Amino acid sequence: MSPRAACRLETLGFPDVSDYVAGKADWLAHGLPREGEKAAEPRAIDLAVEDVVTCGLDDRVGEVRERVSASRYDFAFVVSANRVLLGRLGHPALEADPRLTAGAVMEPGPSTIRPDSTLEPLADRMRSSHMTTLPITDPEGLLLGVIRRKDLEAAVSGGPAPGVADCMLP
Amino acid sequence: MPERVGLDELERLIAAGAQLVDVLPEGEYADEHLPGAINIPLKTLDARTTGGLDRRRPVVVYCWDSL
C-alpha cells in the first residue's frame, strides 16, 4: 500500500518522498511512542523490568551463577555484544561445571514476545504454558526487558503490581 | 523514485522535519499511529487531500507493514 502512496505523491509533485516500508507494525514492535485512541492501552513493554542478569557467550557458568544468586531472579539471559538475545541459563545449566562457558550450556533460542503485545492474550498464553517470565525483544532480536506473569496478571485484573518481596522466581 | 527507508533513516528524517503520512484507513489511524502523523488514506490521495502538506519538506508515507 505505501509504495503506491509514495508513487502517487510523486506524481502529485512532491519532490522528496520516502516510504517507511516496514510500517506501523515495525514501529510498534520496537516499543516506540504511539498516538491514538488505543495508544494508552498498556502493552508488554509498559510492564517490562530490566534488571535481569545477562551474560556473554564466553562468560563462565560459575561467574554467572554468582550474579544470578545476588539477583532476584533464578536465571540469566545470554546476549551478544550488541544485546541480541541468544539463549537462557536456568536450571540445570547454572549448576553445570563452573568452568564451562554460558554458550556451551545455554538453552538456545528462548521464546520471546514483542513490546507491543497486548496484555490479556499474553497473560492467557503464559498461564497455559506455565511460564513465569518472558523476554521482550524487538524485531532485530535486541533484548529490551522481561515481563513477569505476576505483573501481567496484576495489570489485567486491575490490582496493584507485586512488590519486590513477591518477585522471586519462578 | 521514492526512497525505501528503514527505522534508522525514518528517525533521522523525522528529526530533520519530515512530514509523516499514514495512508491506512481512517479507523486504523484513529486506533494508533506514529506521533505527529497525519492521515490521508490511500484511496483519497489527490491534489486536494495533500494540499496541507509542505512541498519544501520531505514526506514519509507508511502503512501497516511491507506486505
Which chain B residues are closer than 8 Å to A17 by Cβ? 2-3, 58-61
Assigned C-alpha cell, A114: 514483542
- The low-confidence residues of chain A, meaning pLDDT below 50, are 163-170
What is the number of CB-based contacts under 8 A between chain A and chain B? Answer: 131
Look at A8 and B45 and tell me if their CB atoms are within 8 Å.
yes
The CA distance from A153 to the nearest CA of chain B, in Å, is: 24
- pLDDT, residue A165, reads 39
In the predicted structure, residue B54 carries a pLDDT above the cut 90: yes
Assigned C-alpha cell, A49: 523490568
Mean pLDDT computed over every residue of chain B: 95
Global confidence as pTM: 0.81
Which of B33, B45, B50 is opposite residue A36, by nearest beta carbon?
A: B33
- pLDDT, residue A160, reads 60
At residue B3 the predicted structure's pLDDT band, cuts being 50, 70 and 90, is very high
Dist CA A124 CA B5 (whole Å): 36
The CA distance from A109 to the nearest CA of chain B, in Å, is: 25
Which of B2, B29, B37 is opposite residue A17, by nearest beta carbon?
A: B2
- pLDDT, residue A1, reads 81
In the predicted structure, residue B33 carries a pLDDT above the cut 70: yes
Closest CA to A156 of A117, A124, A119: A119
Which of B33, B50, B58 is opposite residue A12, by nearest beta carbon?
A: B50
At residue B67 the predicted structure's pLDDT band, cuts being 50, 70 and 90, is low
Place of cell 502517487: A8
- pLDDT, residue A161, reads 56
Closest CA to A21 of A136, A137, A117, A139: A139
What is the mean pLDDT of the segment spanning B46-60? 96
The strand pair at A17-20 and A53-55 is best described as unpaired
ipTM of the complex: 0.96
Which of A6, A8, A25 is opposite residue B64, by nearest beta carbon?
A: A25
Look at B50 and A26 and tell me if their CB atoms are within 8 Å.
no
Is A44-167 CATH 3.40.50.1240? no
Domain ranges of chain A: 44-167
- pLDDT, residue A78, reads 98
Q: Give the CA angle between residues A36, A42, A46 to the nearest 5°.
A: 115
Is residue A104 helix, strand or coil? helix
